[in-house]
Amino acid sequence: MQDAFTPTSLLVTGGAGFIGSNFINHFMAGNPGCRVINLDLLTYAGNLKNLAAVEENPDYRFVKGDICDAGLVAGLLAEGEVDAVVHFAAESHVDRSITGPDIFVRTNVLGTQTLLEASRLHAERVAGFRFLQVSTDEVYGSLGAQGYFTEETPLAPNSPYSASKAGADLLVRAYSETFGLATLNTRCSNNYGPYHFPEKLIPLMIHNILKKKPLPVYGDGLNVRDWLHVKDHSVAIERVLKLGKPGEIFNVGGNNEWKNIDIVNLVCDLMDERLGRRPGESRGLIAFVKDRKGHDRRYAIDASKLKRELSWEPSYTFERGIAETIDWYLANQGWVEEVVSGAYREYYEKQYGQH
């Protein structure tokens, strides 16, 4: 294990999104005195309400802006005397990448390269500077019924989203190999928890069950995902940032594989209990719809390197995490209603209207 790196000033990108905001809330609670600049463009997926807990903190600063704006990024790194970048900003939804891939290449590839280039120049003046790229297991492609992705698994992305993330990861590698930039790269499985945008499977199902709307399950519903609570992901990122050896990749996963249909059934049953509906009632809303194009069959991640080298373990059981997540959505209907109004309605009609 490396000697611990103690950041004094972080630039977090995409910190108003699902994982970025959970990370900032977690990190600032545990690292008083470390300054955090949150650079976020506030696309449809960004929401400052996620950050109510830190907005009054004098060490926190929000900047609305684009990671593709090289001048802005360079200015923030210099002014903020930043000694680490934690890079979350991305277009993150696979279905949107199928209907409109361009923005995924711009934000995920060009945006990452812009940050890397500014970081390379900045690092010449700041000893110990680190760049942490937050990525996904989807860069490894799809598994059959057996096996796990390790850090050595060749990249074989299948969707425009995962291809753009793989492109970004390879640029991170190139900046480490060519320029000696101290980079770290995490690749995590599917996250769930509070502030998850309701276009993604779990919050979409919670929302539709509540509204008694159809529950669209793609294909045969037997695709498998590994689910990790977003707070466990946040802890993993903090640990890699502080203790990871530069140049390394760390897989992050929950060892918690679920077939989509089983997770939808579980969410239905937990919701029925909470809403006082008759057992099985919400399962009646399930509608098998046309499959996603290029739908990856199974993701499963071997996170043993992170466990072995950095002593990380998930703290949430799925039973507790999913129950708390459902309760969070039920208690925060105002947040959901705001998010699903406006532009998201149009997306929803386009994505599910024809099914």
Give the integer Cα–Cα distance in Å for 251 and 165: 14
Q: CB neighbours of 79 closer than 8 A, spacing ≥ 6? A: none
Q: Pick what 16 binds: ligand TYD, ligand NAD, none; C-beta below 5 to 8 Å, kind-dependent.
A: ligand NAD
Please say which residue, 89 or 109, places its beta carbon nearer to ligand NAD.
Answer: 89
148 is catalytic: no
Residue of 225, 229, 231, 307 interacting with ligand TYD (CB under 6 A): 225
Helix (H, G, I), strand (E, B) or coil at 27: helix
Using CB under 6 A as the binding rule, whether residue 16 contacts ligand NAD is answered as yes
Using CB under 6 A as the binding rule, whether residue 136 contacts ligand NAD is answered as yes
Number of chain positions touching ligand TYD (CB under 6 A): 12
Q: Pick what 162 binds: ligand TYD, ligand NAD, none; C-beta below 5 to 8 Å, kind-dependent.
A: none
Residue of 10, 11, 12, 20 interacting with ligand NAD (CB under 6 A): 20
296 is catalytic: no
Q: What beta strand segments (E) does 147-232 contain?
A: 183-188, 190-192, 215-218, 224-229
Mark 193-212 with x for binding to ligand NAD (rule: CB under 6 A) and - for no binding. Answer: ----x---------------
Q: Which of 95, 137, 232, 296 is catalytic?
A: 137
Using CB under 6 A as the binding rule, whether residue 223 contacts ligand TYD is answered as yes
Residue of 12, 76, 94, 134 interacting with ligand TYD (CB under 6 A): 94
Using CB under 6 A as the binding rule, whether residue 41 contacts ligand NAD is answered as yes
Using CB under 6 A as the binding rule, whether residue 301 contacts ligand TYD is answered as no
Q: How far is CA 87 from CA 14, 115, 132, in A?
A: 7, 9, 6
95 is catalytic: no
Q: Which two tokens stand for residue 15?
A: 């910190």
Using CB under 6 A as the binding rule, whether residue 18 contacts ligand NAD is answered as yes
Residue of 176, 183, 260, 282 interacting with ligand TYD (CB under 6 A): 260
Helix (H, G, I), strand (E, B) or coil at 133: strand
Which among 30, 26, 31 has a CA at the least distance from the CA of 15?
A: 26
Q: Pick what 67 binds: ligand NAD, ligand TYD, none; C-beta below 5 to 8 Å, kind-dependent.
A: ligand NAD
Tally of CA atoms within 13 A in the half-sphere of 32 that contains its CB: 0
Sign of CA dihedral 204, 205, 211, 213: positive
Phi/psi for 109 (5° steps) reads: -90, -60
Q: What beta strand segments (E) does the chain contain?
A: 9-13, 35-40, 60-64, 84-87, 130-136, 183-188, 190-192, 215-218, 224-229, 249-252, 257-259, 286-289
| Helices and strands of the chain, counted as H and E runs | 13, 12
Please say which residue, 188 or 326, places its beta carbon nearer to ligand NAD.
Answer: 188
Give the integer Cα–Cα distance in Å for 286 and 277: 16
Using CB under 6 A as the binding rule, whether residue 216 contacts ligand TYD is answered as yes
The residue ranges that bind ligand NAD (CB under 6 A) are 13-14, 16-20, 39-43, 45-46, 66-68, 88-90, 92, 107, 111, 134-136, 165, 188, 190-191, 197
